[in-house]
Structures are given as structure tokens and as C-alpha cells.
Amino acid sequence: MRKFHSVIMAGLAFTLGFVLGMMLQLPVITLPLEEQNFEKTDSKTGIRHESVGSARKQLSLDNPLRLVKPSSYGVVYPLNNGTNSYLQGQTDYSGSQQSDGSSGASPAIESVIRNRESAKQPDVLNGIFWSEATEKKCPGGFTEKEQEDWKSKINNVKVVKLENGCGRMQNRLATFKDASRACVRYRMNTDQIQGDIFSFYLSKLLGISNVPPSSLHLVNTIDDRWRTVTGEIANSKWADDKVVIFTQFVEGLKPSHIPFEFREEDRKLHPKQDLGNSKGPEDLCDLVQWSDLLIFDYLTANLDRVVNNMFNRQWNPNMMNTPAHNLERTSNGRLVFLDNESGLFHGYRLLDKYASYHKKLLDALCVFRNSTARAIERLYRSGNAGEELNKLFSQHEELSNQIPRFPQKNAKILQQRIADVYEQIQMCKKQYV
């Protein structure tokens, strides 16, 4: 009997030893069957890390279990006979940052990370330029046909009403016989008329379509087009035979705020920013249009829009959070660049005082419309932007002889500022392309 018990105990011991030995040798990772929220995601790399109390190690970028197959017994067997090409050669499985700035992952994982970074905004940018797909999603500006149709109409339709509106004291909101309306800008100072109308034609040279159609007209109480409103003209204290600017009135405008990218001292709009994931369609389209606005205002030295907010911040810390001056938006998100009368003339006289503000905004910009960049390069290489501006103005304005041409002194300043923008674009290309 003792011999029989000894044989039984020896058999049991051998069986237990064999089972334990097999368990110690099995190349498995034991994990609970149910998914637990033990992982944390590194916001910079997108790699998940194990948290305190978790026995899991990082196995992939998206799912710790993506590269392993579950068994029916709560045991997970690694693929590829216990080896994993993602993990081979990886020395830091926690995904912590290394001194060289890498994620510490294997070359394969590093490649996936880089691909993800570049794929974040495939439809947003093309190098330093807004992609065609992005621009197509944004509202269009004033088309050439719209401008010509509007100008043709107001040249032949009577003004039936003048009323207060459209800004300053002597400006008026005009209503025509067909119920269309226009802002009439009246200025005693000729260079403010020049600033507004030449800024409009500069926008046409640049292909920037956010400036509403504008044209010169002559106040003439004898003319049949004005006869109905002679009383309002007298009350407005307008001089007869005075040149005014008719600017198309856009219905339903709302204030527009400065994007966060340009509000603080560290302002910038650069390709490395996560525009694809952090911006909705409306915000992206705002930035597309703002990239044109900053260039336009830099060239004209317009100090009555964003620079106005920047300068007044010294007295009001919240100034950059208030709506931008002379900038409105339509219901579909189109930005309208209004009242550009300080551009090209008054702004140029005050460059010593305000140049640093313009420069800060230009330096912040490293994403551009491709068409605008091409226009800048063309004007830079031609070297005669002033001549082109005068030619375009003369071709389209019947009253071009009623105000002085764009002077040579101002043309030199404009050409230098075009060179500044061109150099900024080239610098951004070197940095990011």
C-alpha cells in the first residue's frame, strides 16, 4: 500500500511540475479579456502609454491589442511566432521623448508618426499655400462680372434717396431707383479719395476680391441722376461738382473678430500649426481670407483696421478681442474689407509711427493664397506696380482725370513693400518647403 501511494504522489508531482514548467515557458502576454481604460495618450506623439497599475505595454499606435490575437482562454498570443516587427529594435517601450526629440519608437513607428503628422491636413495646405480644396470650401469674393454689372447700373440709375449712414459725418447711404444701394464717401481731403479708390484697384491687381466694387462719381445737382435728392445734397453740405466714391452696399453685414492666431505677441500663422484638426471650416476660411488681408493692409499701410486695435491696446488690454475696425462679414462667411481711405497715402505719411505694427503682422504670416503669392512675385519682378495701378485706374474710371494720379513717391514705397512681402514668402519657402 505504501508503495502504491508513493507511485501516485510521484505521478501527481511529475504532472504538476510539467504543467508549471510549460506555463513558465509559454511565450504569451496575459491580459484580462475585458478592455480596461488603463492607457493614456501622449498629445504630442499620439502614442498610448501604460498608466500606473496597468500590466500592459505599448504594442501599437492605436490599439495595444491590434497586433495580437485573442484566445478563448483569456490569453493573447503575439503574431509572428512571438516577435513583432513594430517592436524590434525599440529600446523605450514607454514612448517617452528622447533627447534627440524623437518619440523613442522604432523606425517603423517613427515613420507612421511622420505620416500621420503630414496627413493631418492633406486638404488644408500645400506647402506654405492654402490647398485648392481648402479654397473651394470658402465663400468667393466679388467677381469681375459683378463689379462691371454694378458699375454699369449705377452709371445709369437715378439716386432717389440720401440718408445718414456709411460711417463718417458727410458720408451718405444712397438708394437708387431700382432699390439697390451704395455708400457714398465724401471727403474734403483729396488724398482720402485717392487712398480709397487706388486701394480698390490695387486689390484688383493682386486678385484679392474682398474689397467691394467702387467707382468715382461727380456730384451734380443739374444732372438728372441727382435731381431728386438736391435737398439732401444741400443738407449734407456737399459741394457741387465734387468727386465722390460710390461703393456697393452689402446687406446683412456683421462684425468680424481678429483670429486668435494674430491677437497676442506670439502671433503666427505657420504650416506647422495643426490647422486641419483644430479648425472648423468657418475658422479655416477666415484664416484664408486673413492671409490676404494682412498682405493687402501691409502694402497699403492701412492703419485703420487691425493696426488700430494693436495701437489702442496700450489703453485697452482687451482691444484685440473686440471686432476689427472696418472689417465685416457676410452671412456666408465672406470678409468685406471696408473703408480703405487711409491706404497708400495717409498711411504712408505715418509709417515712422506705425511701421512696426505692420511688420509684426507680416512676420506672423507664413501661409498664403497661391494666387496672391504669384501676383506679388509678378509685381516684384516687374518693378512698376505704380504704373500698372495708374493704367488700371485710367482704363476703368471715366473721371480719372478729376483726381491726381498715383504719385511716383508713393509708387516707390509701394514697390518696396511689395519686395518685403515677396521676401517674406521666400523666407517661408526656405523654412517649410
pLDDT given at position 44: 42
Lookup: cell for 312: 489702442
pLDDT given at position 59: 35
Q: Rounded distance, CA 400 to CA 243, Å? A: 10
Q: Rounded distance, CA 88 to CA 102, Å? A: 17
Q: Rounded distance, CA 59 to CA 154, Å? A: 70
CB atoms within 10 A of CB 146: 15
pLDDT given at position 356: 95
Contact 267, 385 (CB under 8 A): no
DSSP structure class, residue 267: -
* CA 258 remoteness from chain centre: 11
For the chain, domain boundaries = 23-85, 125-140+256-432
Q: Rounded distance, CA 329 to CA 225, Å? A: 31
pLDDT given at position 167: 82
Q: Global pTM? A: 0.72
Q: What is the DSSP string of 215-259?
A: EEEE--TTSTTTGGGHHHHHHTTPPTT-EEEEEE--TT-EEEEPP
DSSP structure class, residue 213: P
Q: Rounded distance, CA 42 to CA 45, Å? A: 6
User: pLDDT by residue (tens digit) across 166-179?
Assistant: 987 899 999 999 99
Higher pLDDT: 342 or 66? It is 342
State the average pLDDT over residues 288-296.
98
User: pLDDT by residue (tens digit) across 100-124?
Assistant: 434 444 555 544 444 444 444 458 9
State the average pLDDT over residues 285-303.
97
Contact 326, 279 (CB under 8 A): no
Residue 285 confidence (pLDDT) above 70: yes
State the average pLDDT over residues 29-40.
40
Lookup: cell for 207: 486678385
Q: What is the DSSP string of 88-120?
A: TT-S-TT-PPPTTSS-S--HHHHHHHHHHHHHS
**What proportion of the chain, given as a percentage, has pLDDT over 90?**
63
Residue 159 confidence (pLDDT) above 60: yes
Q: What are phi and psi of 130, to 5 degrees?
A: -65, 135
Q: Between vectors from CA 266 to CA 264 and to CA 271, what angle results, nearest 5°? A: 115
State the average pLDDT over residues 57-66.
37
Q: How confident is the model at residue 153 (pLDDT cuts 50, 70, 90)?
A: confident
Q: How confident is the model at residue 342 (pLDDT cuts 50, 70, 90)?
A: very high
User: pLDDT by residue (tens digit) across 167-213?
Assistant: 878 999 999 999 999 999 998 889 999 999 999 999 999 999 999 99
**pLDDT, averaged across the chain:** 80
User: pLDDT by residue (tens digit) across 240-271?
Assistant: 999 999 999 999 999 999 999 999 888 999 99
Find cell 497708400 and name the residue.
Answer: 344
Lookup: cell for 49: 502609454
State the average pLDDT over residues 329-342.
95
pLDDT given at position 426: 98
38-42, 233-237, 279-283: least confident range: 38-42
Helix (H) or strand (E) holding 372: helix 370-382
Q: Which residues have a Cβ under 8 Å from the Cβ of 344 and sit 6 or more positions away?
A: 194, 195, 198, 199, 202, 300, 301, 406, 410, 414
pLDDT given at position 310: 94
SS3 294: helix
329 bridge partner residues: 254, 335
Q: Rounded distance, CA 116 to CA 112, Å? A: 6
